């Protein structure tokens, strides 16, 4: 894809039946599940955002992931699963870093809510990292477990399951989502979570700085635009409240959606990214029935990687 293609504005669209209604209901309720900021035409705005320098400052830290693979004894894994690979660019960075592993991975299963992002990731892999075979599968990790990991994995092969880029900070109920991940894993598989750490003593302004640009605003508002809400009819604010970067769309004029008259000033939370302490991540992992393994903090990047495994219980043997 050329830069010109990347920058081109794609006409607004939803990916699947039901998405438009779910987004409209979210606008009425004042809370839009963040997964819709990655699907349909929003995937193209996310793709632009993911190429933005500020985005890397928040989600990067491939070196920390690589080192965690070493510490956790994951240096001979032929196949990797990634939940939320986005456009695949960060996945490729990590796979390149794993090129010095005893056995570099040659297969990647990308599981994502966004079929459009999976298509982009597949094309990016084919063009830029042809030696790794990329398979995409649509899955909403917040909704239910998936059988896709088991049907894809090479026979008798434990796999690392990556959840990187602070995607865990986007979930409404992180422990419930990790519970679905646990039920999609087998004994011997390792969940690898990459998250952004809370910074004490930092002011809201500098915390939200990476999000104060036109590319991010466009990405956050795209689901509303796909519902026909004109950019001129909303303004966007971003703030740091209770360890969360939160973005709100505020209606400039009244709007009728699903039979509801929404007044000017109606606020819709359309972005959320939680910041964690190490203890918080560990407690989420444990609440999901997983056992914490390696924990690796990169102070400079403000980033933590935590590995987790299934407990040795009857439920863990087959499901
Ligand atoms: C913050 S981006 C991270 C992308 C990539 N890992 C990176 O570091 O650039 C979040 C990714 O998770 C996906 N995602 C968000 N909510 C999801 C859900 N409920 N189920 C599955 N994927 C989801 C998004 O589509 C997107 O690809």
Which residues have a Cβ under 8 Å from the Cβ of 312 and sit 6 or more positions away?
187
Atom of ligand 1 nearest to the CA of 35: 16
The pLDDT tens digits for 269-302 are: 999 999 999 999 999 999 999 999 999 999 888 8
**Kind and range of the H or E element at 176?**
helix 174-184
Closest residue by CA, ligand 1 atom 1? 167
Atom of ligand 1 nearest to the CA of 166: 1
The pLDDT tens digits for 208-256 are: 998 998 989 998 999 999 999 998 999 999 999 999 999 999 999 999 9
Delineate the domains of the chain, giving CATH numbers in brackets: 28-43+202-274 (no CATH), 60-197+276-318 (3.40.50.150)
User: In whole numbers, what is the pLDDT of the chain averaged over residues?
Assistant: 92
For residue 17, pLDDT beyond 70: yes
Confidence of residue 56 (pLDDT cuts 50, 70, 90): low
Q: What is the distance in A from the centroid of ligand 1 to the CA of 83?
A: 7
The pLDDT tens digits for 84-134 are: 999 999 999 999 999 999 999 999 999 999 999 999 999 999 999 999 999
Closest residue by CA, ligand 1 atom 11? 84
Rg (CA), the chain: 19
**Whose CA is closest to 13, among 86, 116, 142, 111?**
116
Average pLDDT over every residue of 42-64: 79
The span from the CA of 183 to the CA of 113, in Å, is: 18
Closest residue by CA, ligand 1 atom 12? 84
For residue 265, pLDDT beyond 80: yes
Q: Print the SS3 string covering 31-48.
A: ECCHHHHCCCHHHHHHHH
pLDDT at 101: 95
């Amino acid at each position: 894809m050329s830069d010109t293609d990347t920058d081109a504005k794609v006409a607004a669209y939803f990916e699947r039946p039901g998405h438009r209604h779910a987004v409209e209901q979210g606008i009425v309720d004042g809370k839009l599940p963040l997964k819709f900021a990655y699907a349909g035409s929003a995937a193209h705005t996310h793709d632009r955002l993911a190429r933005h320098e500020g985005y890397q400052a928040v989600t990067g830290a491939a070196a920390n992931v690589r080192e965690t693979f070493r510490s956790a004894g994951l240096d001979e894994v032929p196949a990797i699963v990634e939940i939320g690979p986005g456009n695949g660019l960060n996945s490729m960075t990590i796979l390149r870093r794993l090129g010095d592993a005893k056995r570099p991975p040659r297969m990647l299963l990308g599981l994502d809510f966004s079929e459009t992002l999976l298509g982009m990731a597949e094309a990016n892999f084919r063009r830029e990292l042809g030696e790794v075979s990329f398979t995409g599968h649509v899955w909403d990790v917040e909704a239910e477990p998936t059988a896709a990991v088991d049907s894809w994995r090479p026979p008798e092969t434990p796999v690392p399951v990556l959840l990187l880029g602070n995607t865990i900070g986007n979930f409404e109920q992180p422990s419930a989502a990790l519970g679905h991940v646990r039920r999609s894993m087998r004994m011997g598989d390792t969940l690898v979570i990459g998250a952004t750490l809370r910074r004490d003593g930092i002011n809201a302004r500098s915390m939200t700085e990476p999000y104060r640009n036109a590319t991010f605003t466009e990405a956050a508002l795209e689901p509303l635009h796909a519902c026909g809400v004109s950019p001129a009819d909303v303004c966007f604010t971003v703030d740091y409240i209770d360890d969360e970067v939160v973005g709100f769309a505020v209606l400039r004029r009244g709007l009728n959606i699903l039979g509801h008259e929404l007044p000017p000033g109606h606020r819709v939370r359309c972005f959320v990214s939680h910041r964690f302490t190490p203890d918080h991540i560990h407690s989420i992992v444990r609440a999901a029935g997983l056992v914490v393994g390696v924990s690796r903090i990169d102070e400079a990047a403000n980033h933590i990687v935590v590995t987790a495994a299934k407990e040795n219980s009857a439920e863990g043997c087959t499901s």
